[in-house]
């Protein structure tokens, strides 16, 4: 494989925060073993050796959790040392890490800057919005700690992407969130809808996002983003950039825009490999990196039941005028209603695309 992307969970589902909407906690509790503890050096070495053997041009190691920094800075120092040792084919290697930011201090920041990590930090917005759902284990606010870390990373020229979860509480305030993040100096922003518990009807939790709020938030965000762009005040918002890219003929970078689920190479702390972060469940386990090579894992994908429904999207998609740009969204947002597959956000997508299409086309022509 030319370009290999791997998503590693060094601390399994362990976390030092208790976000009310955590999708990974919900998923992990549906497995026989909710938390596999910390990743051993044996698993780490297997991942690195096998990934660098299998990739031909580029290899991206992404770290996620739970909270990946709980594995300790030494884990990551060892990891990057081993990559240097085993990268005999001189592949272009990059690193990314998604964190809540709580444990990051100057030593971590120096390391991230040195190894050119792209750091994704979760922050839902100004204090009252962050504190509505993202508290630490003692029920205390995390806002000041997280914003200080973001400022420290930016000062050290570490690339920072802030990930904001759209909930019933935050989606009404996207204008406030967008300008707050800009003021903080965050130019790379990503907004993702919070997930309802797996296998349960959507919209029932107190934090649940509704399609109406999803549409309103994206339309308002697009207005803000576009108007800044026209003033040469550039902010990167992943979703919008992808839409422009698709209209220009580039492949999207998010699997939710491919029209089918693809292998995301999620590796749990014990070495078990799964197809997607939203489905790290026992029944979808592909294999274990200690026992198989990536080649062997890929050969087994067709027999994995996750991929049997890989391109199952909304029943309306094949006739939809927005399909070329939407591609049916994420399968995790789909469920069966009256024996037909529906995407919870389908009507919201249609409303958003009708609202933004002229400006998207203009940007794609520029």
Catalytically active residues are 277
- Least Å distance, CB 238 to ligand SF4, is 14
- Least Å distance, CB 42 to ligand SF4, is 28
- Is the CB of 140 or the CB of 321 nearer to ligand SF4? 321
CB 77 within 8 A of CB 95: no
The two three-digit tokens of residue 324, written as one number: 């070329």
What DSSP designation does 162 have?
E
- Is the CB of 94 or the CB of 350 nearer to ligand SF4? 350
Please report, as ranges, the residues that interact with ligand SF4 according to CB under 6 A.
255-256, 261-262, 264, 276, 278, 313-314, 316-317, 320, 322-323, 326, 328-332, 343, 346, 349-350
- Is the CB of 20 or the CB of 342 nearer to ligand SF4? 342
Strand ranges for 177-247 from DSSP E: 188-193, 236-237
- Least Å distance, CB 274 to ligand SF4, is 10
Q: How many CA atoms lie within 13 A of 275 on its CB side?
A: 25
As to burial, measured by CB atoms within 10 angstroms (0-12 exposed, 13-18 middle, 19+ buried), residue 365 is exposed
Dihedrals φ, ψ of 342, to 5°? -130, 145
- Is the CB of 80 or the CB of 350 nearer to ligand SF4? 350
- Least Å distance, CB 147 to ligand SF4, is 28
Q: Checking phi first, is residue 208 left (phi over 0); if not, alpha (psi -120 to 50) or beta?
A: beta
Residue 192 CB partners (closer than 8 Å, separation 6+): 163, 164, 165, 166
């Amino acid at each position: 494989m030319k370009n290999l992307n791997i998503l590693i969970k060094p601390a399994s589902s362990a976390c030092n925060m208790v976000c009310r909407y955590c999708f990974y906690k919900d998923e992990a509790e549906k497995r026989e073993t909710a938390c596999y503890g910390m990743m051993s050096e044996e698993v780490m070495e297997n991942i690195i050796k096998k990934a660098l053997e299998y990739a031909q041009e580029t290899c991206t190691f992404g770290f996620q959790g739970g909270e990946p920094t709980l594995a300790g800075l030494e884990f990551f120092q060892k990891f990057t040392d081993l990559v240097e040792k085993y990268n005999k084919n001189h592949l272009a290697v990059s690193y990314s890490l998604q964190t809540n930011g709580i444990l990051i201090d100057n030593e971590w920041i120096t390391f991230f800057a040195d190894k050119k990590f792209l750091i994704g930090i979760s922050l839902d917005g100004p204090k009252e919005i962050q504190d509505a759902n993202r508290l630490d284990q003692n029920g205390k606010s995390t806002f000041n700690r997280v914003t200080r870390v973001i400022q420290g990373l930016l000062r050290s020229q570490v690339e920072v992407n802030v990930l904001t979860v759209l909930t019933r509480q935050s989606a009404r305030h996207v204008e406030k969130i967008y300008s707050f993040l800009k003021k903080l100096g965050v130019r790379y922003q990503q907004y993702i809808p919070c997930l309802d518990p797996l296998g349960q009807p959507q919209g029932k939790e107190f934090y649940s996002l509704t399609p109406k709020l999803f549409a309103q938030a994206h339309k308002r965000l697009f207005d803000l983003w576009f108007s800044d762009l026209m003033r040469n005040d550039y902010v990167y918002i992943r979703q919008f950039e992808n839409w422009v890219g698709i209209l220009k003929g580039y492949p999207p970078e998010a699997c939710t825009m491919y029209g089918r689920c693809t292998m995301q190479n999620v590796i749990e702390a014990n070495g078990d490999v799964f197809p997607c972060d939203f489905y790290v469940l026992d029944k979808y386990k592909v294999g274990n990196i200690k026992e198989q090579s990536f080649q062997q894992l890929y050969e087994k994908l067709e027999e994995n039941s996750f991929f049997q429904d890989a391109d199952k999207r909304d029943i309306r998609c094949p006739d939809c005028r927005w399909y070329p740009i939407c591609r049916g969204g994420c399968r995790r947002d789909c469920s069966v209603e009256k024996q037909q597959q529906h995407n919870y956000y389908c009507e919201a997508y249609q409303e958003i695309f009708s609202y933004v299409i002229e400006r998207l086309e203009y940007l794609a022509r520029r």
